[in-house]
Amino acid sequence: MSVPASATLLHVVREQIGLTGSKEGCDDSECGACMMLLDGEPVNSCSYLAVQADGSAITTVEGLAPGDTLAPLQEAFLVAGGVQCGFCTPGMLISATRLLRDNPDPTTDEVRLELSGNLCRCTGYDGIVKAVMEVAARTAEKSAGD
Amino acid sequence: MTSYLAATSLEEAVAALADGARPIAGGTDLVVGARQGKKPLPEALVGIHRIPGLNGIRDSDDGLEIGAMTSHAAVVAHPTVRNRYSGLADASALVGSHATRAQGTIGGNLMNASPAMDTGAPLLCFDSAVTLASARGTRNLSLADLWTGPGHTSAGRDELLVAVHVPAPPPSTGSAYVRLQYRRQMEIAVVGAAAVVTLSEGTVTAAAIAITALAPVIHRVAEAEARLIGGKANAAAIASAADAAAEASRPIDDVRASANYRKAMAAVVARRAIETAISRAGGAEVEIPASESTYGS
């Protein structure tokens, strides 16, 4: 595909590719609603040019679930009430996915710190933090049982 | 219409700069600035993020050579940076959020020339220098000679920052960078300070102190350093040096803080930075970033 040099990654993914999971919140790299993984590392896609991602692997919220089953974090967000209006959720999920990959057993404060680049205007942070801690605890239990 | 060239070599990149293109790596300043309407995207962009050889930290007895494309995440994760150049790790750990640190580069941070950039003060205190490359050749410049004002450097428009050189500090040296912030991520320093202190049996043999977001450019404060060097590293000397750092500040009023608040807080952050540098020089473990553990002290 061909993209204008000035188009952001977010714009191309939403408008040209048609994957609208990632959201445009602030368009200013403040809120993290547009967060994606670029070759496995987080990027605020509203502030990254699509041309620069040529040849890179991009993961959006649509890519977190294997097939029709929800990923453990997605399930936990639902159960713990980590989704209110849902606008920040795609970025939160990407951010939390990367967090648990690099730090599978975080403290509550580490989760709060690492997710501070993602704003939830419903201020539903408690449910979000609980969901992430819940998945971390389950992973720890599982590896302890192995 | 903006044009874009993905440079695959330094030669290609500097040739594009000579033709008027502007470089882009993580885009965390350039694209954000354009989205905010501060400054439109340049007409011609050259992507420098995939040029081989510009990314990574070379660690030797002489010091560090940090490639311009090294991300803040890589700086924070580097064991030598954390142990021997802790003040730089403190700073890179605070830049933006984990997304900014994954994409944002040390070269971009320095060339953006913000008086509030986090990595500037510690690198200045370590007597760092940079290498600038252009189609005309390369030259080295001390970091102190790079910044000329907010958003302005002495680099020519055809020059690309390719590496940062950080001389190895002597043994028994500790360093720290501390800032004030309103939010724990995606924040810019309200005020900040860095200190690099060398001790010999409790006496300060060398000290460097620099202030952030307190003047048009980040700069060292010779008077603050003089109040530490040659004396004991005690509370009175630290307070006196911190006061000197505050006296040298020339802050502005802006959306993040008033000039009065900044001036009042300058002594606080300077004291925290000096205290932490001294603790680390004495072998104490202080968590990175120091801003988190010194908060409220």
B267-276: per-residue pLDDT in tens?
999 999 999 9
Please indicate, yes or no, if residue A73 is contained in any of the structural domains. Answer: yes
Question: Average of pLDDT values for B156-164?
Answer: 98
Please indicate, yes or no, if residue A113 is contained in any of the structural domains. Answer: yes
Q: What domains sit in chain B, N to C, each tagged with a CATH number?
A: 1-46 (no CATH), 173-289 (3.30.390.50)
- Quote the CA–CA distance of A90 and A96 in Å, as a whole number: 10
Cβ–Cβ gap A117/B47 under 8 Å: no
Confidence (pLDDT) at B38: 79
Please indicate, yes or no, if residue A1 is contained in any of the structural domains. Answer: no
- Quote the CA–CA distance of B186 and B136 in Å, as a whole number: 38
Query: Per residue in B1-28, pLDDT tens?
Result: 799 999 999 999 999 999 999 999 999 8
Option in A5, A52, A116 nearest B97 (CB): A116
Query: Per residue in B60-69, pLDDT tens?
Result: 999 999 999 9
A76 touches chain B (CB under 8 A): no
B268 touches chain A (CB under 8 A): no
- Quote the CA–CA distance of B293 and B297 in Å, as a whole number: 9
Cβ–Cβ gap B98/A98 under 8 Å: yes
Confidence (pLDDT) at B4: 97
CA B139 from chain centre, in angstroms, equals 20
The single-letter code of the amino acid at B161 is L
Query: Per residue in B37-52, pLDDT tens?
Result: 778 899 999 999 999 9
Taking 3-state DSSP, the helix, strand and coil percentages for chain B, each rounded to the nearest 5, stand at 35, 25, 40
Give the Cα-Cα-Cα angle B221, B226, B228 (nearest 5 degrees): 105
Please, which pLDDT band fits residue B32 given cuts at 50, 70 and 90? confident
On the 0-12 / 13-18 / 19+ scale of CB atoms within 10 A, B22 is middle
Option in A47, A98, A112 nearest B27 (CB): A47
- Quote the CA–CA distance of B84 and B281 in Å, as a whole number: 10
B99 touches chain A (CB under 8 A): yes
Q: Which residue of A has its CA nearest to B25?
A: A52
Could you list the residue range(s) of the whole structural domain that residue A61 is in?
9-145
CA distance A44 to chain B (A): 6
Cβ–Cβ gap B97/A48 under 8 Å: no
Question: Average of pLDDT values for B144-155?
Answer: 97
Backbone angles phi, psi at B29, to 5 degrees: -100, -50
CA A97 from chain centre, in angstroms, equals 6
Confidence (pLDDT) at B35: 78
Q: Is the pLDDT of residue B56 over 90?
A: yes
B26 touches chain A (CB under 8 A): yes
Option in A46, A51, A117 nearest B97 (CB): A117
Please, which pLDDT band fits residue A146 given cuts at 50, 70 and 90? low
Closest CA to A5 of B30, B98, B15, B102: B30
Query: Per residue in A30-79, pLDDT tens?
Result: 999 999 999 999 999 999 999 999 999 999 999 999 888 999 999 999 99
- Quote the CA–CA distance of B196 and B187 in Å, as a whole number: 24
Option in B41, B47, B184 nearest A113 (CB): B184
Please indicate, yes or no, if residue A3 is contained in any of the structural domains. Answer: no
How many other CB atoms are found less than 10 A from the CB of residue B149?
10
Backbone angles phi, psi at B173, to 5 degrees: -105, 135
Query: Per residue in B208-242, pLDDT tens?
Result: 999 999 999 999 999 999 999 999 999 999 999 99
CA distance A81 to chain B (A): 24
The number of distinct structural domains making up chain A is: 1
CA distance B172 to chain A (A): 31
Q: Quick check: helix, strand or coil at residue B153?
A: strand
Q: Which residue of A has its CA nearest to B45?
A: A5
Please indicate, yes or no, if residue A2 is contained in any of the structural domains. Answer: no
C-beta contacts of A31-34 below 8 A and 24+ residues apart: A31/A88, A31/A91, A31/A118, A31/A119, A32/A88, A32/A91, A32/A92, A32/A95, A32/A117, A32/A118, A32/A119, A32/B97, A32/B99, A32/B186, A33/A87, A33/A88, A33/A90, A33/A91, A33/A118, A33/A119, A34/A10, A34/A91
Option in A35, A48, A114 nearest B31 (CB): A48
Please indicate, yes or no, if residue A76 is contained in any of the structural domains. Answer: yes
B23 touches chain A (CB under 8 A): no
Please, which pLDDT band fits residue B293 given cuts at 50, 70 and 90? confident
Total residue length of chain B = 297
Closest CA to B218 of B166, B154, B164, B144: B144
What is the CATH number for A115? Answer: 1.10.150.120
- Quote the CA–CA distance of B140 and B163 in Å, as a whole number: 9
| Chain B neighbors of A6, CB-CB under 8 A | 1-2, 34, 41
Query: Per residue in A80-108, pLDDT tens?
Result: 999 999 999 999 999 999 999 999 999 99
Confidence (pLDDT) at A33: 97
Q: What is the ipTM of this complex?
A: 0.93
